[in-house]
A and B are shown apart, each in its own frame.
Chain A
Amino acid sequence: MSKIIAVHSYKGGTGKTLFSVNLAAALAKAGKKVCVFDLDFRAPSLFAILKISNVEFWLNDYLNNTCEVGKTLINLSSRVPGYGKFYACLANPSTEAIRDMSSKDRKWEMRALGRLLALREALLKNQEFDYLFFDTSPGLQYSSINAIVAADYVVVATTGDRSDVDGTKRMLSELYNLFEKKTGLVLNKVLDPSMNAKRTEMQNKIKADYQVPMLGMVPCFCEVLRAEGSLIFVQDKPDHPFTKILTEMARKIENNEIE
Chain B
Amino acid sequence: MNRNELSSKKPLNILEKIEESLEKLNDKIEIMIEIQKNENTNNLRSPLQLPDASLDVMTLLSMPDHLRKTAMTICRCTRATAEEIADQTKRARAVESAYLNQLVIMGYLKKERKGRKAYFFIDKESQS
Tell me whether A178 and B75 are in contact (CB under 8 A): no
**A146 part of interface (Cβ distance < 8 Å):** yes
Q: In the complex, which residues of chain A have a beta carbon less than 8 angstroms from the beta carbon of B57?
A: 109, 113, 142, 145-146, 149
**A107 part of interface (Cβ distance < 8 Å):** yes
Q: Shortest Cβ distance from A70 into chain B, in angstroms?
A: 20
Q: In the complex, which residues of chain B have a beta carbon less than 8 angstroms from the beta carbon of A178?
A: 61, 65, 68
Tell me whether A110 and B72 are in contact (CB under 8 A): no
CA of A114 to CA of B76 in the docked complex: distance in angstroms?
8
Binding stretch for chain A, among B3-11, B30-38, B48-56? B48-56
Of A107, A142, A146, A179, which is within 8 A of B127 by CB? A107
Chain B interface category by residue count: 20 to 34
Tell me whether A179 and B75 are in contact (CB under 8 A): no
CA of A113 to CA of B75 in the docked complex: distance in angstroms?
8
Q: Shortest Cβ distance from B124 into chain A, in angstroms?
A: 6
**B21 part of interface (Cβ distance < 8 Å):** no
Tell me whether A149 and B128 are in contact (CB under 8 A): no
Minimum CB distance partner of B76 in chain A = A117
CA of A117 to CA of B56 in the docked complex: distance in angstroms?
13
A145-B75 contact, Cβ under 8 Å, with A110-B124, A114-B122, A114-B124: no
Tell me whether B56 and A113 are in contact (CB under 8 A): yes
Tell me whether A106 and B61 are in contact (CB under 8 A): no
**B40 part of interface (Cβ distance < 8 Å):** no
- Interface flags for A128-166 (1: CB within 8 Å of B; 0: not) read 000000000000001001100100000000000000000
Q: Shortest Cβ distance from A2 into chain B, in angstroms?
A: 15
Q: Shortest Cβ distance from B110 into chain A, in angstroms?
A: 14
Q: In the complex, which residues of chain A have a beta carbon less than 8 angstroms from the beta carbon of B55?
A: 110
Chain A interface category by residue count: 10 to 19
Tell me whether A106 and B78 are in contact (CB under 8 A): no
Q: In the complex, which residues of chain A have a beta carbon less than 8 angstroms from the beta carbon of B65?
A: 178
Tell me whether B52 and A179 are in contact (CB under 8 A): no
**B44 part of interface (Cβ distance < 8 Å):** no
Tell me whether A110 and B61 are in contact (CB under 8 A): no
**B58 part of interface (Cβ distance < 8 Å):** yes
Q: In the complex, which residues of chain B have a beta carbon less than 8 angstroms from the beta carbon of A110?
A: 54-56, 122, 124, 127
Q: In the complex, which residues of chain A have a beta carbon less than 8 angstroms from the beta carbon of B68?
A: 178-179
**A111 part of interface (Cβ distance < 8 Å):** yes
Of B60, B69, B76, B128, which is within 8 A of A107 by CB? B128
A179-B72 contact, Cβ under 8 Å, with A107-B128, A111-B124, A114-B124: yes
B residues 50-104 touching A (CB-CB < 8 Å): 52, 54-61, 65, 68-69, 72, 75-76, 78
Tell me whether A107 and B78 are in contact (CB under 8 A): no
**A224 part of interface (Cβ distance < 8 Å):** no
Which A residues have a C-beta under 8 Å from some C-beta of B?
Answer: 106-107, 109-111, 113-114, 117, 142, 145-146, 149, 175, 178-180
Which B residues have a C-beta under 8 Å from some C-beta of A?
Answer: 52, 54-61, 65, 68-69, 72, 75-76, 78, 122, 124, 127-128
The 10 closest A-B pairs by CB, nearest first: A110-B56, A145-B57, A106-B56, A109-B56, A110-B54, A107-B54, A106-B54, A107-B127, A111-B124, A149-B57
